[in-house]
């Protein structure tokens, strides 16, 4: 799910997203509540209509962004008081307010308000955040008024097995249309991410979608799918593109490297995206060196297509029961050749 953080997937139009096979995008509650506000977007007919996105949309709760403002916020059981990074104004975000704003935005899938502890949180900190997440989930469920929005709860608990088990069991008791796993890729060593999935996945209902929040590396996606994860989002494809980085079947590359100055090859041989079918590495490198916006756009198209095509291939291999072999081959080539 590409991230349309502030109401747009950076540099691309909705038609371009549909052309590469995108089916659902994200909106960011925190940023949109600050500017232009949930009220404005509601008056404009809701986020999908306002942005001309004719497809499903998911909004996060705003929790992760609030908790990343460590120096600008104060947390208590009622909610979070924080200062806007835009103008310094003070705001108070609660589970009820988060659900209200997501109702105004009008996404199809909305997230319960949670507390995301940092990856290096000690057991007491992680437990306190988990308990708060559970309490806020119940308040989020009670606050939800719209029947046309699917509310996903979020498993928390840091890197601690006992907490993740407790949280997963608590979350699984809620009859939700899907379940999310948060608090990964927030500073913990990468092996812990897969350990968390090994703990949580067997507990969550197997007949409902599972959403691993904030993950976008190809290898991480493959490892997570093999542990029962269905849905992913991340800003990485667009962020890497803006910094001249792109994915290939043999690893990540940097388009600004001088070795590509006269390369007549596409970014990734055999790739079916618009960028690879029409432009050489030499030209794309020139665009990025000159800071032309077209370079950002073309690399973004490729990176998003690459991940969406990976997901299409994953689905095919799930259907043919060959995912393990496909994943092993992909990961070996990707890791051995990354530069």
Name residues whose C-beta falls within 8 Å of residue 263's C-beta, 6 or more positions apart in sequence: 280, 281, 282, 285
Catalytic residue list contains 114: no
Q: Which of 60, 114, 220, 268 is catalytic?
A: 60
Tell me how crowded residue 214 is: count the other CB atoms within 10 A of its CB.
19
Active site annotation includes 233: yes
Q: How far apart are CA 274 and CA 19, in angstroms?
A: 9
- CB-based contact 89:106 (threshold 8 Å): no
The first and second tokens of residue 7, run together, are 């109401």
Whether the CB-CB separation of 110 and 141 falls below 8 Å is answered with no
Sheet architecture: strand order including 25-27: 3-4, 25-27, 57-59, 109-111, 150-152
Neighbour-count burial of 189, counting CB atoms closer than 10 A to its CB (0-12 exposed, 13-18 middle, 19+ buried): exposed
CA distance 197 to 301: 30
Task: Tell me if 161 sits within 8 A of 128, measured CB to CB.
Answer: no
The secondary structure of residue 54, as a DSSP letter, is: -
CA distance 149 to 104: 11
Contact criterion met (CB below 8 Å) for 16 and 300: no
* Torsional class of 52: left (φ above 0), alpha (ψ -120 to 50), beta (otherwise): left
The residue from 114, 220, 233, 268 that is catalytic is 233
Catalytic residues: 60, 233
């Amino acid at each position: 799910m590409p991230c349309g953080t502030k109401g747009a997937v950076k540099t691309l139009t909705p038609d371009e997203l549909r052309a590469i096979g995108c089916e659902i995008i994200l909106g960011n509650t925190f940023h949109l509540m600050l500017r232009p506000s949930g009220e404005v977007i509601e008056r404009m007919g809701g986020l999908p209509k306002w942005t001309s996105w004719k497809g499903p949309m998911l909004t996060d709760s705003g929790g992760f962004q609030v908790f990343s403002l460590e120096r600008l916020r104060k947390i208590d059981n009622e909610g979070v008081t924080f200062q806007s990074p835009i103008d310094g104004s003070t705001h108070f975000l609660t589970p009820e307010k988060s659900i209200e704003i997501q109702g105004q935005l009008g996404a199809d899938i909305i997230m319960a308000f949670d507390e995301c502890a940092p990856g290096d949180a000690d057991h007491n900190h992680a437990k306190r955040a988990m308990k708060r997440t559970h309490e806020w989930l119940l308040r989020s469920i009670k606050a939800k008024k719209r029947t046309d929005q699917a509310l996903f709860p979020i498993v928390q608990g840091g890197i601690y097995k006992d907490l993740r088990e407790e949280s997963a069991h608590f979350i699984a008791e809620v009859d939700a249309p899907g379940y999310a796993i948060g608090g990964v890729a927030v500073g913990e060593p990468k092996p812990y991410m897969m350990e968390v999935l090994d703990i949580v996945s067997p507990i969550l209902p197997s007949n409902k979608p599972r959403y691993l929040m904030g993950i976008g590396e190809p290898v991480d996606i493959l490892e997570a799918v093999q542990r029962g994860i269905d849905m992913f989002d991340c800003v990485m494809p667009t962020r890497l593109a803006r910094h001249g980085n792109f994915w290939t079947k043999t690893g990540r590359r940097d388009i600004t490297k001088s070795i590509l100055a006269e390369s007549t090859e596409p970014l990734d041989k055999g790739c079916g995206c618009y960028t690879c079918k029409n432009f050489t590495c030499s030209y794309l490198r020139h665009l990025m060196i000159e800071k032309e916006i077209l370079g950002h756009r073309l690399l973004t198209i490729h990176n998003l297509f690459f991940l969406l095509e990976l997901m299409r291939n994953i689905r095919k291999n799930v259907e043919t029961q060959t995912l393990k072999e496909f994943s092993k081959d992909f990961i070996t080539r990707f890791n051995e050749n990354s530069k």
